[in-house]
Amino acid sequence: MRLFIIFIFLLSNSFAKEVPNIKNIVINEELKTYKNLAFLDSKQDIVELNNYEGKLVILNFWATWCAPCKKEMPSLDSLKSNKVLDNLEIFPINIGKDNLKKSQKFFSELNIKNLDIYFDNPITLTKELSLRGVPTTIIFNTKGKEFARIIGSIDFSDKSFIEWLSNYN
């Protein structure tokens, strides 16, 4: 009996989704559900998050004046092209009240090729998600529920982060 309990314990730990050693990732103890989350694409068309159920979704909130946003954006761009995360959708959402031209210049200066530009204008999504600053990244599972937040910048190309995220893909 004792061996059976040890076996079950070891087995359950081998399937655990280990959180990468990144200090600013906050894993929700309970999944958070939101209704009708929406933002705008570069043509000012409404994008509704519930249309992406079945996908792993990252919402990354940024602004052109934000130095940490500038630092992390290239690694977020490379994450989009990662073949391991083929079920991943990334939405970088500008909340800095910048226009499209200024946002495109920001992306161009950083050589961002894999991401599109989105906006939260007016800042309804920012308020609904209780954001406190930029950059902030919110990760939704394939059922559309928030399971993690990243407060501040990280290196999205970090191998342990990609491996952890692939568990939810």
Partners of 91 in the β-ladder:
59
Note the pLDDT of residue 5.
Answer: 40
Q: Which of 10-14, 22-26, 28-32, 76-80 has the lowest mean pLDDT?
A: 10-14
Query: Into how many domains does the chain fold?
Result: 1
Q: What is the pLDDT of residues 31-40, one digit of tens each?
A: 999 998 999 9
Alpha-carbon span 157 to 22, nearest angstrom: 12
Residue 81 lies in a domain: yes
Q: What is the dihedral of CA 105, 110, 113, 114, to 10 degrees?
A: -110
DSSP state letter for 150? E
Q: Which token pair is 73?
A: 């954006």
Residue 73 lies in a domain: yes
Note the pLDDT of residue 9.
Answer: 40
Residue 13 lies in a domain: no
Note the pLDDT of residue 22.
Answer: 78
pLDDT band at 11 (very low <50, low <70, confident <90, very high): very low
Residue 12 lies in a domain: no
The answer, yes or no, to whether residue 13 has pLDDT greater than 60, is no
Expressed as residue numbers, the domain containing 95 is 20-166
Residue 154 lies in a domain: yes
Residue 5 lies in a domain: no
Tell me whether strands 88-94 and 56-62 are parallel, antiparallel or unpaired. parallel
Which CATH number do you get for residue 98?
3.40.30.10
118 contacts 40 by C-beta, under 8 angstroms: yes
Residue 62 lies in a domain: yes
3-state SS assignment for residue 84: helix
Q: What is the pLDDT of residues 47-67, one digit of tens each?
A: 999 999 999 999 999 999 999
Note the pLDDT of residue 107.
Answer: 98
Residue 107 lies in a domain: yes
Burial of 75 (0-12, 13-18, 19+ CB in 10 A): middle
> In the block, which residue shows the tokens 């894993």?
27
Q: What is the dihedral of CA 142, 70, 128, 46, to 10 degrees?
A: -70
Q: What is the pLDDT of residues 72-107, one digit of tens each?
A: 999 999 999 999 999 999 999 999 989 999 999 999
